[in-house]
C-alpha cells in the first residue's frame, strides 16, 4: 500500500478557513436567531440570551474537538 499524497498548502489553508468560518457562524447564528424570535414573540432578552449561551456552548465544543484532532501525532 502506498502512502497518501501530502496535501497542498492551498488545500490546507482552505480547510482552516472553512473551520474558522464555521466557528464564527456557530457562535453568532444562535444569538441572531434568538434576537429574531424575541422580536417576533415580544419576549425581550430571553431568546437572545438563550441563543448566546447555546452559541457559546456549541462553539466551544467545536473548538475543543478541533484542538483534540490537531494534537494527534501524525
Are 11 and 25 in contact, with CB atoms under 8 Å apart?
no
pLDDT tens-digit readout, 35-53: 999 999 998 899 999 999 9
The 10 Å CB-count burial string (b at 16+, else e) for 39-66 is eeeeeeeebbebbbebbeebbeeeeeee
Question: pLDDT tier at 71 (50, 70, 90 boundaries)?
Answer: confident
Query: pTM value?
Result: 0.79
pLDDT tens-digit readout, 8-39: 999 999 999 999 999 999 999 999 999 999 99
DSSP 8-state class, residue 7: P
Q: How many CA atoms lie within 13 A of 56 on its CB side?
A: 6
Amino acid at each position: 500500500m502506498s502512502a497518501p499524497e501530502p496535501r497542498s498548502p492551498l488545500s490546507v489553508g482552505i480547510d482552516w478557513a472553512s473551520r474558522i468560518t464555521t466557528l464564527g457562524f456557530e457562535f453568532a447564528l444562535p444569538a441572531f436567531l434568538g434576537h429574531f424570535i424575541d422580536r417576533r414573540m415580544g419576549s425581550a432578552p430571553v431568546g437572545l440570551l438563550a441563543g448566546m449561551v447555546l452559541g457559546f456552548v456549541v462553539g466551544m465544543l467545536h473548538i475543543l474537538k478541533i484542538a483534540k484532532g490537531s494534537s494527534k501525532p501524525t
